[in-house]
Amino acid sequence: MFTQQAPNTARAQLSEGNVEIIRQTLPVIGAHINEITPVFYRTMFANHPELIADTFNRGNQRSGEQQKALAASIATFATMLVDENAPDPVEMLSRIGHKHVSLGITADQYQIVHDNLFSAIVEVLGEAITPEIAGAWDEVYWLMANILISFENDLYSSAGVAAGDVFIKAELKEKTQLSPLVTEYTFSGQGFEKALPGQYTSIGVTLPDGARQLRQYSLIKTDENSFSIAVQKDGEVSNFLLENVDLSDVVDATLPAGDLVLEDNAAPLVLVSQGIGSTPMTGMLSHLVATQNPLDREVVVLHADANEAEYAQRENTNNLVAALSERGKATHIATFREQDELLNLDQLFQEGKVPAEAQWYLCGGNTFLQDIREQLEKNTKLAPTSIHFELFSPNDWLVS
């Protein structure tokens, strides 16, 4: 599921009387948003237990990551509506939309969120929420919700499916141990469409307590009715896959989604990853091997990991880069923390190992991505033409 059209925020304008209300109350709502969101989720799951059982990831709920994501998105969107200097959160909305369609979210569920969210706001702030304030924030919510609903409908349409109808049955065909913590799983599933390089799928399993839990996995490679993912020992779904799902077993999977998609052009390309973040980069490299002969752009792959053994995609990446290097300029550089090695972009640039005016794709942990972004900003000679990023977290748009 993919569309070139970004979420349309151009029409997102508050009613004249509500602008000042939101401007004045945004600091108060913002200061209490991290109190409001846990109440919201507690209330919503009490009213709709099927959501925590079958749709929302319980691990993200326990860690508080989902609450942070909701709080950040609402505050960011509201700020755009009242501050003309605030950035347009179109990238944030795109990520949210893609994650929603990979879970099969539909328009009717926005009403459920609305009702329980506003109940939580009143519960936390009490009499401070006058009818006028409630009405203004109601408008903020529906402006954001309608942008997302429209964008998500476009994504569903791009795959030719009805809203929410994204699940297929996928049978496990092959398991390959990649590292002590990571195993590659290859599934076949009738109706699974070929993904764009860098996209992901959601895998759903039914746990012993009867809950169907979902987790997103970047796609290493895809073909018609077939796909491969890398599963790292971490979290309920991944641990269940590793410990309980064997050859010929069947799981739920969704059609591919995600906006970290490789653009095909002639600009130099730098792929930067950390840990399991190498997975979408492997998908991009597989695409280049399949489509670019001869290779018409320079490709540099940079990876950081604890040690060589934990670099799950090391062999795959070596093979893919070797195939590309036979057709053009392609290099692979890995650094390992246990050997006191770090990715130093200044040094790599001075040594001629990283090109200027390249497209950059980043995937890894929050701290790692922030460090790479800061290095790119400090070295003005690198002058990236674009920077795309993703981390495995519900609030990945907080990395700016």
Query: Side chain identity at 193, as an amino acid letter?
Result: E
| Structure token digits, residue 295 | 């290779």
pLDDT band at 224 (very low <50, low <70, confident <90, very high): confident
**Beta strands per DSSP E along the chain:** 167-177, 182-188, 200-206, 212-223, 226-232, 250-254, 269-274, 299-305, 330-336, 359-363, 386-390
pTM of structure: 0.90
Domain 16-158 has CATH 1.10.490.10: yes
**CATH class of the domain whose range is 167-254:** mainly beta
Position 67 scores a pLDDT of 67
Tokens 């509500």, residue?
A: 18
> Are residues 298 and 268 in contact, defined by beta-carbon separation less than 8 angstroms?
yes
Q: Which of 367, 375, 304 minimizes the C-alpha distance to 339?
A: 304
Pair of tokens at residue 207 = 């746990």
Residue 396: the pLDDT is: 46
Identify the band that residue 38 occupies on the pLDDT scale cut at 50, 70 and 90: confident
> Which CATH architecture does the domain made up of 269-398 adopt?
3-Layer(aba) Sandwich (3.40)
Q: How far apart are the C-alpha atoms of 26 and 46, rounded to whole Å?
A: 28
Pairing of strands 167-177, 250-254: antiparallel
User: How far apart are alpha carbons 37 and 60 in whole angstroms?
Assistant: 13
Q: Is the pLDDT of residue 63 over 60?
A: no
pLDDT computed for residue 319 by the predictor: 96
pLDDT at 166: 95
Amino acid at 343: L
What pLDDT shows up at residue 391? 66
Contact (CB, 8 A) for 68 and 109: no
Over residues 146-170, mean pLDDT: 96
Q: What pLDDT was estimated at residue 36?
A: 87
> Phi, psi (5° rounding) for residue 363?
-150, 125
Name the average pLDDT for the chain: 90
* Mean pLDDT confidence for 74-101: 90
On the CB side of 166, CA atoms within 13 Å amount to 31
Output the CA torsion 304→310→316→320 (10° steps): 20
Per-residue confidence (pLDDT) for residue 333, from 0 to 100: 97
Beta pairing partners, 212:
206
Q: Where in the chain is the domain with CATH 2.40.30.10?
A: 167-254
Report the distance separating Cα 251 and Cα 171, nearest Å: 7
Q: What is the pLDDT of residue 400?
A: 43
Q: How far apart are CA 199 and CA 155, in angstroms?
A: 13
Of the candidates 207, 217, 224, the one whose C-alpha atom is nearest the C-alpha of residue 257 is: 217
pLDDT (mean) for 26-31 = 87
- Distance between CA 18 and CA 39 in Å, rounded? 25
Query: Residue 397 pLDDT more than 50?
Result: no
Q: 190 with 168: CB under 8 angstroms? A: yes
Dist CA 313 CA 17 (whole Å): 55
> Are the beta carbons of 163 and 152 closer than 8 angstroms?
yes
User: Tens digit of pLDDT for each residue in 248-287?
Assistant: 999 999 999 999 899 988 899 999 999 999 999 999 999 9
pLDDT of residue 65: 66
Tell me which of 52-66, 212-226, 248-262, 317-331 is least confident.
52-66
Q: From the centroid of its chain, how far is CA 114?
A: 23
pLDDT at residue 348 greater than cutoff 90: yes
Give per-residue pLDDT as tens, 360-370.
999 998 889 99
Cα–Cα distance measured from residue 159 to residue 153, given in angstroms and rounded to the nearest whole number: 10
**pLDDT (tens digit per residue) in 89-139:** 888 899 999 999 999 999 999 999 999 989 999 999 998 899 999 999 999
How long a stretch of residues is the chain?
A: 400
In contact, 150 and 90? CB cutoff 8 Å: no
Of the listed ranges 68-72, 201-205, 207-211, 277-281, the one predicted with least confidence: 68-72
Q: Is 130 helix (H, G, I), strand (E, B) or coil?
A: coil
| 329 touches 295 (CB < 8 A) | yes
Query: What residue ranges of the chain are covered by domains with CATH 3.40.50.80?
Result: 269-398
| In the predicted structure, residue 50 carries a pLDDT above the cut 60 | yes
As given in the structure block, the two tokens for residue 269 are 């390309």
Overall average pLDDT of the 76-98 stretch: 90
Q: Where in the chain is the domain with CATH 1.10.490.10?
A: 16-158
- Cα(74)–Cα(144) distance, rounded to whole angstroms? 8
Q: CA-to-CA distance for 141 and 113, rounded, in angstroms?
A: 10
Which whole number is the average pLDDT over 318-324?
96
Burial (CB < 10 A; 0-12, 13-18, 19+), residue 125, is middle
Q: Which two tokens stand for residue 216?
A: 């997103």
Query: 257 in helix, strand or coil?
Result: strand
Average pLDDT score over residue span 178-202:
92
